[in-house]
Chain A
Amino acid sequence: MSSDTSAHSQSQGIAPSKPPFWRNPRVHALFYQVVLLIGVFVFFGYIFHNTVVNLENQGITTGFGFLDQEAGFGIIQSLIAYTPASTYARTFAVGLLNTVLVSVVGIFLATIVGLIVGLARLSKNWLISRLAAVYIETFRNIPLLLQILFWYFAVLQALPSPRQSFSLGEVAFLNIRGIYLPEPVFESGFGVVFAAIALAVVIVAALAKWAHRRRMQTGQSFHTVWTSLAVLIALPGLAFAVMGAPLGWSLPSLQGFNFTGGITVIPELAALVIALTIYTASSIAEIVRSGILSVSHGQTEAASSLGLSTGKITRLVVLPQAMRVVIPPLTSQYLNLMKNSSLATAIGYPDLVNVFAGTTLNQTGQAVVIIAMTMSVYLTISLLISFFMNWYNRRSAFVEQ
């Protein structure tokens, strides 16, 4: 098209008149960008100058030096060894790990609940689909912070004291101090079971690869799912039996006024996970629903006219196509959950924002460094996950003819 017109004007022998340089769009673009860049530099320079002056007036020397100082405060839940004598760098690590813990557990549970509710929403059963709709519309339209506070203050803080705990078959207990669960204790010889599990996973991966290649070459299918399941259960089970069941349980038991033994899930963590799961699941359910609805009915019909069974239609035709629609919004929900876990600070769960941007900031006054570090942690995780997802998206994108 453009080459046509230029050829045309050339054949007429009329060269287009050159605009004066101040009307040249490229000069304009350069001018605007230079002005913008200068503006941005001046703005940041001004802010930087003010900050330095203000910090000087307050007598705060900014920098990373404070990270080596002793923190001097306790944290109610820590995945790594931590005492009040640890450094501020350590509080950063503890907070980060607690954020990661809540995010991973939340993402896992929200995906499961969201998938179930999303499928229920599509159910042919009128009652089930209505109930799923009520769930989605209720929890999606109430602020997450309110839900977190509700679970923490109205539900978990209203539980009885340790002496009157609710018990589940005398192995798990629920009271105002948290949830007490039995803890597995690995005795000597359990390493063999772990090895068996690892071996089973390797075998299953090889099996899947082999089955896929065979199907591509010969068209014959193989019961990968059932065989894998059998391998995954049988191999570790066999090892477990041979080694003489090397697994014990540490049960929580009431000693005086509190429970000892077992795993304790503090109520802050429980409230946060419950609220994040319920809230995010309502969005995930909608994503799952729209993903499945986006696969046109003709696909299902074509598959069944080729003689595929219902299960195979879902697994081989509908789901792979639905996944393409589901993955991008699902990623952003995962990122939202990770970012929303920072609301932990409202109920005192020791996540990154609470222990680092909260307590540590108040004790040291290092506002600039601490807020910048906290923000960059979230930013880094967000960017990493979106890069990974973009890569996955490109890989699984529909190849159009």
Chain B
Amino acid sequence: MHEFEKHPDLPPPTSQMGVVGWLRKNLFSSIPNSIMTVIALYLLYLTIPAMVEWALINADWVGSSREACSSDGACWVFIYARINQFLYGFYPVEEQWRVNLGAAIFVVSLLLLVIRGVPGKAWIGGFTLLIFPVIAFFLFSGGIFGLEKISTSNWGGLMLTLILSTVGIVAALPFGILLALGRRSDMPIVRALCVSYIELWRGVPLITVLFMASVMLPLFLPSGVNFDKLLRALVGIALFQSAYVAEVVRGGLQAIAKGQSEAAASLGLNYRKTMALIVLPQALKVVIPGLVVTFIELFKDTTLVSIISLFDLLGIVQSALTDPSWLGFAIEGYVFAGLLYWVFCFGMSRYSMHLERRFETGHKGS
């Protein structure tokens, strides 16, 4: 009898594996695909080298005046000369350590909140949301503890952008939660009021809200009461943002199974306890990614305050572009500001996606 001997497996054809296989599968799988690949490669060839040359190779990096920008590349000297203003606005240089200290406390508490396994998150969260804003306010504006008083009209740049967006969301959060609860309430008048509030603010553009805050708010208050332009803008942003927060929180409330509140009711908990101890803790966890997305939108929307002449990051870049001694560097200015915004927004959106995956417990709603 003949013994059949098993041949060793042949390797797959070279066209199916390695670099060639990958190229064939992903770039040249059919004729239309190949044509698209070639066109895309050609467009990339036209744009990428030119951009790299402009931004890096031909760019001017050192110097202190526009004479340093002699080449035809980007003039990063302009950014370098203005960087302090872009970050702190017109905040006096010798007092900027106060802003840095505030930012450092904020970053540390955020890191402690974000890193898993750090104990006492509730306390840290409470500190960041309630105590830190007070500390930051006195630290930045001064006037007590021997700190020099610095008017809010000197605040600007990235600092102002961050203040507007964080204060906006922190102020909007509690109000937004109340509105969301009100919208799902059984009481018809409460529901009607909450729905009208939410739909009103969501139906109008933020810029009209800011106009309203800066023009009409002084009219609404008793004559003689006058407050700061920054505070007026913050009131407008918080009113506007609370409607968006409310809608996000409502989504979370809807995702919590009705059995949860029924079980709480059968244990004899009243409405307040059911919400505070059972429903909201679960709902708020579900909506954290959504809130981060809302925050990103707000972060981008804070640029609008430059229209009511507050100098946030974009506002201060825009005003620097009109400086007669630095005319003609608009692209550099916008690219710098755009890059900063992009880093913040992209980072946060990635973080929100990460949270969404982590919170995916597989029993959403029912």
Residues 95-146 (chain A) with a chain B CB within 8 angstroms: 123-128, 131, 137-138, 140-146
8 A Cβ contacts from A326-375 to B = 339-340, 342-343, 345-346, 353, 357, 361, 367-368, 371, 374-375
Q: Whose C-beta in chain B lies nearest to the C-beta of A371?
A: B212
| Contact assessment for A378 and B203 in the assembled complex, using a CB-CB cutoff below 8 Å | yes
Question: Is the C-beta of A302 less than 8 angstroms from some C-beta in chain B?
Answer: no
CA distance A149 to B314 in the complex (A): 10
The answer, yes or no, to whether A250 is at the interface (CB within 8 Å) is no
Interface centre among A37, A149, A150, A353 (most CB of B within 10 A): A149
CB <8 Å contact, A138 and B342: yes
Q: Select B314's contact among A40, A143, A367, A368, beta carbons within 8 Å.
A: A143
B225 to chain A: closest residue by CB: A50
| Neighbour of A378 across the interface among B204, B219, B306, CB < 8 A | B204
> In the complex, which residues of chain B have a beta carbon less than 8 angstroms from the beta carbon of A357?
208, 211
Inter-chain contacts of B193 with A (CB < 8 A) = 36, 40
Whole-angstrom distance from the CB of B206 to the nearest CB of chain A?
Answer: 8
B26, B200, B318, B345 pick with most chain A CB within 10 angstroms: B26
Is the CB–CB distance between B314 and A146 below 8 Å? yes
Select the stretch in B67-75, B123-131, B144-152, B296-304 that faces chain A.
B296-304
Q: Are A145 and B190 in contact (CB under 8 A)?
A: no
Whether B303 lies near A54 (C-beta < 8 A) is no
Q: Digit string of B317-348 for contact with A (CB within 8 Å is 1, else 0)?
A: 01001000000001100100110011001100
> Within 8 Å of chain A (Cβ to Cβ): is B100?
no
Contact A144 B190 (CB under 8 A): no
Contact call A353/B208, Cβ cutoff below 8 A: yes
Instruction: Check: A383 CB closer than 8 A to any chain B CB.
Output: yes
Cβ contacts B106-141/A at 8 Å (1 or 0 each): 000000000000000000000000000000000000
- Cβ of A50 and Cβ of B221 under 8 Å apart? yes
Pair A379/B212 contact, Cβ less than 8 Å: no
Of A54, A123, A149, which contacts B318 at CB under 8 A?
A149
Measured CA separation A154–B329 after assembly (Å): 8
**Residue pair B202, A145 in contact (C-beta under 8 Å):** no
Q: Indicate if the CB atoms of A368 and B205 lie closer than 8 Å.
A: no
Tell me whether A29 and B187 are in contact (CB under 8 A): yes
> Judging by beta carbons under 8 Å apart, are B334 and A150 in contact?
yes
Q: A128-B36, A153-B330, A346-B307 are in contact. Are A51 and B220 (CB under 8 A)?
A: yes
B349 at the interface (CB under 8 A from A): yes
Q: For the complex, is A228 an interface residue (Cβ under 8 Å from B)?
A: no
CB contacts (< 8 Å) of A157 on chain B: these are 330
B202: nearest chain-A partner, CB-CB: A382
Residues of the B chain whose Cβ atoms lie less than 8 Å from the Cβ of A55: 219
List chain B residues, Cβ under 8 A from A238. none
| Contact present for A57 and B223 (CB under 8 Å) | yes
- A375-B190 CB under 8 A given contacts A141-B346, A141-B349, A146-B337: no
Report, as a range, how many residues of chain B touch the other chain: 35 or more
- A65 CB, nearest partner CB in chain B, Å: 18
Alpha-carbon distance between A127 and B33 when the two chains are bound, in angstroms: 10
Contact A51 B219 (CB under 8 A): yes
Query: Do B205 and A50 touch (CB < 8 A)?
Result: no
The answer to whether B101 has its CB under 8 Å from any CB of chain A is no
| A215 to B47 alpha-carbon distance, docked (Å) | 51
- Complex formed: what's the CA distance from A84 to B183 in Å? 47
Q: How far is the CA of A47 from the CA of B306 in the complex (A)?
A: 27
A1 to B38 Cα, complex, angstroms: 67
Encoded as 1 (CB less than 8 Å from any B CB) or 0, chain A from 55 to 71 comes to: 10100000000000000
Task: Flag if B205 contacts A340 (CB, 8 Å).
Answer: yes
**B218 nearest CB neighbor, chain A only:** A54
Taking a contact as CB atoms under 8 Å apart, the answer to whether A146 and B334 are in contact is yes
Residues on B with beta carbons closer than 8 Å to the beta carbon of A222:
none
List CB contacts (< 8 Å) of B163-181 with chain A: none
Contact assessment for B40 and A375 in the assembled complex, using a CB-CB cutoff below 8 Å: no
B362 contacts the other chain (CB 8 A): no
- The residues in A between 13 and 55 inclusive whose CB is less than 8 angstroms from any CB of B are 29, 32-33, 36-37, 40, 47, 50-51, 53-55
Contacts of A50 in B (CB 8 A): 219-223
Contact in complex: A367, B216 (CB < 8 Å): yes
| Chain A residues within an 8 Å CB radius of B219 | 50-51, 54-55, 367-368
Given the complex, which residues of A lie within 8 Å of B349, measured CB to CB? 140-141
Question: Contacts of B40 on A, CB cut-off 8 Å?
Answer: 127-128, 131
Determine whether A158 belongs to the interface, using a CB cutoff of 8 Å to chain B.
yes
Question: Within 8 Å of chain A (Cβ to Cβ): is B153?
Answer: no
B263 at the interface (CB under 8 A from A): no
Interface status of B56 (Cβ within 8 A of chain A): no
Contact A29 B215 (CB under 8 A): no
Q: Does B189 count as interface, using CB distance less than 8 angstroms?
A: yes
Please, which residues of chain A bring their CB within 8 A of the CB of B337?
A: 146
Q: In the assembled complex, which residues on chain B have CB atoms less than 8 Å from the CB atom of A123?
A: 36
Q: Specify the chain A residue showing the minimal Cβ separation from B348.
A: A141
**Contact A146 B338, beta carbon cutoff 8 Å:** yes
Q: How far is the CB of A122 from chain B (nearest CB, A)?
A: 13
A137-B346 in contact (CB<8A): yes
Residues of B close to A128: CB separation below 8 A? 36-37, 40
Task: Name, among A54, A131, A145, A375, the residue most crowded by chain B CB atoms within 10 Å (CB to CB).
Answer: A145
Task: Report chain B residues within 8 Å CB of A145.
Answer: 303-304, 306-307, 314
Residues of A within 8 A of B37 (CB): 125, 127-128
Specify which chain B residues have a CB less than 8 angstroms from the CB of A29 in the assembled complex: 186-187
Write the nearest CB–CB distance from A241 to chain B, whole angstroms: 35
Q: Contact: A33 with B215, CB < 8 Å?
A: no
Do the beta carbons of B300 and A144 come within 8 Å of each other? yes
Q: Does B52 contact A (CB under 8 A)?
A: no
Instruction: Write out the residue numbers on chain A whose beta carbons fall within 8 Å of the beta carbon of B211.
Output: 353, 357, 361, 371, 374
Q: List the B side residues contacting A154 at CB < 8 Å.
A: 330-331, 334
Chain B residue numbers with a CB within 8 Å of A382 are 202-204
CB distance from B13 to the nearest CB of A (A): 21
CB distance from B213 to the nearest CB of A (A): 10
Chain A residue at minimum C-beta to C-beta distance from B221:
A50
B207 near A: Cβ within 8 Å? yes
CA distance A55 to B41 in the complex (A): 64
Chain B residue with Cβ nearest A338: B205
Closest to A383 in B: B203
Residue in chain B with minimal CB distance to A358: B211
* Contacting pair A33 B190 (CB below 8 A): yes
The A245-268 residues at the B interface (CB cut-off 8 A) are none
A177 to chain B, nearest CB (A): 18
Query: A127-B41, A146-B338 known; A371 and B304 CB under 8 Å?
Result: no
30 A-B pairs with C-beta separation under 8 A: A29-B187, A32-B190, A33-B189, A54-B223, A55-B219, A124-B33, A125-B26, A126-B26, A127-B26, A127-B36, A128-B40, A131-B40, A137-B346, A138-B342, A141-B300, A141-B346, A142-B341, A143-B300, A144-B300, A146-B314, A146-B337, A154-B330, A339-B205, A342-B205, A357-B208, A367-B216, A371-B211, A379-B200, A382-B202, A382-B203
Please list the 3 inter-chain residue pairs (A to B) with the smallest Cβ-Cβ separation, ordered nearest first. A126-B26, A382-B203, A141-B345
